[in-house]
Amino acid sequence: MSGYPLIRMRRRRATPGIRRLLQETRLHAADFIYPLFVRDGRGVREPIDSMPGQYRYSSDTIVKECERAHKLGVSAVLLFGIPSSKDALGKSGYDPNGVIPRAVRSIKKALPDIVVITDVCLCEYTDHGHCGVLEKRGATVRVDNDRTLPLLAKMSLAHADAGADVVAPSDMMDGRVGAIRAELDRRGYARVPILSYAAKYASGFYGPFRDAAGSAPKFGDRAGYQMNPPNVREALAEIALDMEEGADIVMVKPALAYLDVIHAARARFDVPIAAYNVSGEYSMVKAAAQKGWLDERRVAMEILTAIRRAGADLILTYWAPDACEWIRRS
């Protein structure tokens, strides 16, 4: 071989133009869903310590943030509510004048085109912080699956009534997609799709979110309803069940430590797949970047591209507005 140029694969990487031409995976602004936190009050824009660059907004300031994101190219947002009152049954979660319905109305009024997705779960609204209502059996306390379903259906209805475009149940109760679908259909919302958090793992990566939403369980953990991290076949069973019950879009969550699950779901199912680049995945990069140990933009784009490459159609990410800007400037 001596005397012959050995260069072969490297020809495909020789110039920025060639690299761009041969790029297999591309990110687009339309892939992103931007999660946002809404609380009571007016004029509030409260920084979240555990998630640098993210804020708790009131229903007026959130409109401004949606306008800013929309201008950058973000076409969908996901709303989480932080209510001022909590109780055992999470009543503030299905109040038609609760924090989410009010925010949905004001966003849809100002920006009718933006797709407003609402998170449906009790944990932000219950005083015990669990994703469903509790049942006591002697000394043990458990989350009661079947008694939780009507409450989730009621919450979905309150969100649809306010104008939510999509509802996204994240509680991991069995049968909730079917219960929500039936209620929405019965009440004239057959056209409102369900984005199901189908394969949601009991993950340590939700830490910063629980701080942001004040939704950490007051006792125990979520391992009795969220999935066990080592399992992948079980994730496929969860997704198949949710599809049977009427889920229109299915989600894998978290994303980064579960790329194999996204990939397996993509290979198996012909349904739009979303992946949630969760709070911990965001905040660990932010923290390292603040120390000067990582280049935030470079690492964030690498992560988002990996999630896309694994097979996700949609990515829920706190970087959504930044990523739109980075894509435009790249």
Rg (CA), the chain: 21
Min dist CB 82 to ligand PBG, Å, is: 12
**In terms of DSSP bridges, do strands 140-143 and 134-137 run parallel, antiparallel, or are they unpaired?**
antiparallel
Residue 253 among the catalytic residues:
yes
**In terms of DSSP bridges, do strands 45-47 and 55-57 run parallel, antiparallel, or are they unpaired?**
antiparallel
Residue 123 CB neighbour total at 10 angstroms: 25
- Residue 189 or 318: which CB sits closer to ligand PBG? 318
Q: Which residue, among 94, 75, 92, has the nearest Cα to 83 in the 3D structure?
A: 92
Give the CA-trace dihedral at 25, 26, 27, 30, to 10 degrees.
-110
Residue 136 among the catalytic residues:
no
Is residue 210 near ligand PBG by the rule CB under 6 A?
yes
Is residue 170 near ligand PBG by the rule CB under 6 A?
yes
- Residue 131 or 158: which CB sits closer to ligand PBG? 131
Question: CA 189 to CA 183: how far, in whole Å?
Answer: 8
Among 63, 77, 121, 275, binds ligand PBG (CB under 6 A): 121
Per DSSP, helices labelled H in 99-248 are 99-110, 145-162, 176-186, 207-213, 233-245
- Residue 106 or 226: which CB sits closer to ligand PBG? 226
Under rule CB under 6 A, which residues in 126-145 are in contact with ligand PBG?
A: 131
Under rule CB under 6 A, which residues in 89-118 are in contact with ligand PBG?
A: none
Min dist CB 276 to ligand PBG, Å, is: 6
Is residue 37 near ligand PBG by the rule CB under 6 A?
no
Active-site hit among 108, 154, 253, 286: 253
Q: How far is CA 209 from CA 127, 277, 279, in A?
A: 17, 12, 6
Tell me the two tokens of residue 287: 């923290």
Select from 42-50, 97-105, 134-142, 205-213 the region that touches ligand PBG (CB under 6 A): 205-213
Min dist CB 17 to ligand PBG, Å, is: 37
Dihedral pair phi/psi, residue 299, rounded to 5°: -70, -40
Is residue 279 near ligand PBG by the rule CB under 6 A?
yes
Distant-in-sequence, close-in-space partners of 223: CB < 8 Å, separation ≥ 6: 202
Active-site hit among 64, 200, 218, 291: 200
Min dist CB 133 to ligand PBG, Å, is: 14
Is residue 278 near ligand PBG by the rule CB under 6 A?
yes
Which residues does the annotation mark as catalytic? Answer: 200, 253
Residues of this chain that interact with ligand PBG (CB under 6 A) are: 119, 121, 123, 131, 170, 206, 209-210, 278-279
